Amino acid sequence: MKIFLAQQNYHIGNIEDNSQKIITAIQQARHQGAQLVVFSELAVCGYPPRDFLYFKDFVQACDNAILKIAQYADGIAVLVGAPQVNEQIQGKDLYNAVYFLENKEIKQVIHKTCLPTYDVFDEDRYFEPATHWELINLKNKKIAVTICEDIWNLGDNPLYVDCPMDNLIKMKPDVMINLSASPFDYTHDEDRKAAVKANVTKYKLPLFYCNAVGSQTEIVFDGSSLVFDKESNLCGRLKSFEEDYQMFELMDDGSIHCPILEPAQNVPDKENNPALLDEKLHIDQVYRALVMGIKDYFDKMGFKKAIIGSSGGIDSAVTLCLACEALGAQNVLAVLMPSEYSTNHSVTDAETLSKNYSNPYKILPIKNIYESFLSELKPVFKNLPFSVAEENIQSRTRGNLLMAIANKFGYILLNTSNKSELATGYGTLYGDMAGGIGVLGDCYKLQIYELAKYINRNNEWIPNHIITKPPSAELRPGQKDSDSLPDYNILDKILYQYIEQSKGPVEIKAMGFEATLVDRVLKMVNINEYKRNQFCPIIRISPKAFGVGRRMPIVAKYLG
Catalytic residues: 41, 112, 148
Smallest CA-to-CA distance from 184 within 441, 499, 437, 541 is with 541
CB-based burial of residue 242 (10 Å sphere; 0-12 exposed, 13-18 middle, 19+ buried)?
A: middle
- State the Cα–Cα distance between residues 173 and 50, nearest whole angstrom: 33
In order, the DSSP letters of 333-395 are: EEEE---TT--HHHHHHHHHHHHHHT--EEE---HHHHHHHHHHHHHHHTTPPP-HHHHHHHH
Distance of CA 113 to the CA centre of its chain: 24
- State the Cα–Cα distance between residues 6 and 8, nearest whole angstrom: 6
- State the Cα–Cα distance between residues 246 and 409, nearest whole angstrom: 42
Smallest CA-to-CA distance from 119 within 95, 165, 152 is with 152
183: which DSSP letter? B
Residue positions counted in the chain: 560
Smallest CA-to-CA distance from 448 within 421, 418, 483, 468 is with 418
Burial code (b: 16+ CB inside 10 Å, e: under 16) for 329-342 equals bebbbbbbbbbebb
**What are the counts of helices (DSSP H) followed by strands (DSSP E) for the chain?**
16, 19
Note whether 68 and 106 are within 8 A (CB).
no
- State the Cα–Cα distance between residues 89 and 296, nearest whole angstrom: 39
Residues 6 or more apart whose CB falls under 8 angstroms from that of 432 comprise 309, 395, 398, 399, 415, 416, 417, 473
Beta bridge partners of 77: 36
